[in-house]
Structure 1
Amino acid sequence: MFNKKKSVSQITVDQFSSLISSNLSLSGDVEFEDGLKVNGTVKGNVKHKTGTRSLLALSAEGRIEGNVSSHDALIDGTIVGDLRVEHLLELHSNARVHGNIRYRHLSMENGAVVEGTLSRMSDEEETAQVLELPRSQVREG
């Protein structure tokens, strides 16, 4: 009777391989793979290992002061910096992002606040990034 739109599947959380607990404040950059849950504070950039299907979960008590990148992200805390999510970004009701956001798919609940721009990444952009080699791996002939 009703046409159903093709929807992006919900993110499922089975387990996180890394945790920054609420009693921890970390200064410095963090690179992660698989799943990272942040309940504490990170003062530095948080990025996923390139080419992995990582998941970042930032709880309502969590705070990141730096640029953030992940494959998927569930944000319910505060980010002061730019956010880049290659696949699905969920901004929950307590989310506060003070920076620009680049995403492919977005779900945003009432109450979430973004102080910056929202830009959707194109499929062509993803293909170009995959084919781009770091300068150290390019051989000059």
Structure 2
Amino acid sequence: MFGKTKQPPIRTLIGEGTVITGELRFADGLRIDGEVQGDVIASSEAYSILVISEKAKVVGKVKAGHVIINGTVIGPVLSDQLLELQPKASIVGDVRYESLEMHQGARIDGELHPLKADEKAPLKLATANAGPAINPTTAQAA
């Protein structure tokens, strides 16, 4: 209904107090309440969901379709679908996303890059006369 895709089930849980060292690949859904020292990557091309809870910490790259963060990530984040940053989210690293929902209180220490920005053509400004084209990155106010 309303064009929403059904979310995959969360089949894996890393519990509070658990520490995993190394790359973690998952299919469908994963919830992290503990700590991961390494990359967390959705292994399938199909839609995936990753939940990093308030008490969780990931030190490494995070990549999944739908990513929900309310804990700490130290490393780059890539969300192919929707990135939800809840009030206690803290990211130190660059963030790439298809669409972004950010709640008040969430923090990012890095650059934000929408995935669609990679596909956009350069901005062209219309002019009233047939004069030279204006480059918006170097244009100065008169």
TM tier relative to shorter chain: 0.7 to 0.9
Counterparts of 1:23 and 1:89, CA distance in 2: 25
The secondary structure found in structure 2 opposite 1:122 is helix
Provide the residue aligned with 2:27 in structure 1. Answer: 33
Task: Kindly name which structure, 1 or 2, has the bigger radius of gyration based on alpha carbons.
Answer: 2
Structure 1 residues 57 and 82: CA distance shift in structure 2, 3 A = same
Counterparts of 2:28 and 2:118, CA distance in 1: 25
Q: What's the CA shift string for 1:43-62, capped at 9, x where partnerless? A: 00000114121100000000
Counterparts of 1:14 and 1:100, CA distance in 2: 26
Instruction: Calculate the TM-score normalised by the size of structure 2.
Output: 0.77
Q: Is the 8 A contact 2:77 2:96 kept in 1?
A: yes
Structure 1's consecutive aligned runs of 4 or more residues displaced over 6 angstroms after TM superposition are 11-14
- The alpha-carbon deviation at position 120 of structure 1 amounts to 0.2
Structure 2, unpaired ranges of 5+: 120-142
Structure 1 residues 34 and 44: CA distance shift in structure 2, 3 A = same
Structure 1, unpaired ranges of 5+: 1-6, 126-141
Counterparts of 2:69 and 2:55, CA distance in 1: 11
Counterparts of 2:114 and 2:88, CA distance in 1: 22
Instruction: Give the total of aligned pairs.
Output: 118
Q: Is the 8 A contact 1:45 1:68 kept in 2?
A: yes
Higher percent of residues as helix: 1
Provide the residue aligned with 1:102 in structure 2. Answer: 96
Give the share of equivalent positions with the same residue, in percent: 30
Counterparts of 1:14 and 1:80, CA distance in 2: 26
Q: Is the 8 A contact 1:26 1:41 kept in 2?
A: yes
Structure 1 residues 23 and 64: CA distance shift in structure 2, 3 A = same
1:54 aligns with 2:45: no
The secondary structure found in structure 1 opposite 2:58 is strand
Counterparts of 1:95 and 1:50, CA distance in 2: 25
Match of 1:16 among 10, 14, 23: 10
Of 51-60 and 13-22, more deviation after overlay is shown by 13-22
Provide the residue aligned with 2:133 in structure 1. Answer: none
Q: Which amino acid aligns with 1:62?
A: A
Q: Is the 8 A contact 2:9 2:28 kept in 1?
A: no
